A = this chain, B = another copy of it.
């Protein structure tokens, strides 16, 4: 049975294959680093040409080591690494291998690609777990284990678990964490390089089960299997926060496509939706990743999103307030009148108290004691969940005095407090003291607020399980597939209706007279729409006539339609003309599905019309999903403002719309043969909705 990653992190002995006396070789540096950081386990250098390296006896091969070996670090490239894997397999005691060496699949050279495949095969067969190739492997400050090397990284124990898709960037992140006033330590670090065996998703899963890890910080460029990522992350986020810095936002989503949905589904937007769906908190910068990890690492969870800004300088206070508003998740705390009155009585006359509420500017005239008292009044207010404390201590007020005044007060309460003390040199000591006493500090007032915003998102994010529905067939899809075409509109409507989705009444007319008769029975203005397998964009070829009333208008419309389509698409097979009643006016939304290379079936929602193209104000989720996710995805867009009723309009049936999204998501998940689905537009009413056009394209 394969060892758990947790066991590998706890390895009590490491063999370094390719160990060297040459200080410019990786094989030298790995051994030297293990010695330098004081690895608690045993180190076995392996090199057939040496008898001793850095004072340690050297082995000719891993098979020659007579003690137990938990972990093997391979610094040899290509076939040599494969040979080491074979030897490792023969030993039978090795739990994990880190292939540090580069020069495998990433080169694209067949020989090297094959070497990596061989390593992966042996891993699978033997149960030995392999990190890499082309990686810096793992670090564990508990046992002082390091398999790679990164300048500046020190092994400071902490509760952050790092997962990185770039060794260099991962090292930078750890160093950024370590350069905080009180170094922010870590529990685990893992870089998986080419992922021939262990994946970044597995690392997240392992950290999820590891009590040493309180918060998981991930640097991500992409995932191989989006659904697997969501399943794992969705489980882990129920136990502890997962912060992700996903880069590559501008990765071009320029895939050839026939629908809006696929055009807009540049994979980054899909990642956004997937993260929300599984409770992962996305951050924008390296600093925010560390700031968020630091806040979660050090602070209790807030009970709500109401933050009070306690500031000694107006400028910093305004910057904090701007950021509270920009965060999209925090709000200024509506403190009680009693708190405001007591603060007013306490603070100097120049102070600005509760203007606006949740904002307290003490002015530079306040002294240390007053900061302590003010902090107590604020934290005691039941309407305050968190505090941002900004201070630029004036010369006559030593920063340490301010810090010492607030720390005991903060410790009395179980509420998150962050601080921004500026500036640099003069407040270093105070910042360290604050952090040593559980108050994280940040370089700028906006950075401090962003850290609280990340903490709050992490606290209140929800994770929704992702189902995999068994693939299904349907006669309508089968028939179209057999005829090598997409669904015709009446088929698309029938398909939706067969799955409990309400559709408008409609008649497929084969002649002018049938159209007139159908229109007469509909008793009101109608629309005519061509039905032809050769016509996908009906309006573009004059295949739609709107708002026709009376036999004469309907007849004329029918003739014009047929004429237009014939001349625009010569030889188009006409299966008839769809007659549908004109739907009452209402806000129009678009619902679409497509298949994402990473995440499989996905659903898009947004306002219809040119909004979609112009503002890209759409949301994505991975299919299938439930009502709550559908409601989230509606609320995420500005469409929600329209649906709630803009300019005094009546609110629309958001619940019914969410139900439609849920049903569509299940269709997308159940029928892999559907490539794209577009319900565009869907008009939403006070009660229910009307699907005005439905297009279903099949994989061919």
Contacts and interface: CB of A to CB of B under 8 A. Distances in A.
A247 B318 contact: yes
A567 interface: no
Given A424-B176, A610-B642, A614-B641, A219 B326 contact: no
Interface string A267-280: 00000000000000
A444 to B, nearest CB: 5
A426 B392 contact: no
A552 interface: no
Contacts of A321: 250
15 contacts: A24-B396, A102-B365, A107-B350, A151-B393, A151-B394, A152-B426, A166-B313, A168-B315, A168-B394, A179-B424, A219-B315, A248-B322, A249-B322, A286-B319, A613-B647
Contacts of A312: 168
A631 to B, nearest CB: 19
Interface of A: 23-24, 29, 102, 106-107, 149-152, 165-166, 168-169, 171-172, 175-176, 179, 219, 221, 247-250, 285-287, 312-316, 318-319, 321-322, 325-326, 349-350, 364-365, 392-396, 422-426, 443-444, 446, 610-611, 613-615, 617, 638, 641-642, 646-647
Contacts of A425: 152, 175, 179
Contact of A175 (B179, B423, B613): B423
Contact of A247 (B315, B394, B646): B315
A195 B261 CA distance: 56
A286 B610 CA distance: 37
Report, nearest first, the 5 A-B pairs whose CB atoms are least far apart: A169-B315, A166-B315, A168-B313, A175-B423, A250-B325
A424 B641 contact: no
B318 A248 contact: yes
Most buried by B among A247, A396, A615: A247
Contacts of A394: 151, 168
Given A151-B423, A424-B176, A169 B614 contact: no
A277 B312 CA distance: 34
B444 A286 contact: yes
Contacts of A610: 642, 646
Contacts of A219: 315
Contacts of A396: 23-24, 29
B250 A171 contact: no
Nearest to A311: B168
Given A221-B314, A350-B107, A287 B444 contact: yes
Contacts of A647: 613
Contacts of A286: 319, 444, 446
A424 B154 CA distance: 12
Contacts of A249: 322, 325-326
A613 B426 contact: no
Contacts of A316: 168-169, 172
Contact of A106 (B102, B152, B350, B617): B350
A221 B168 contact: no
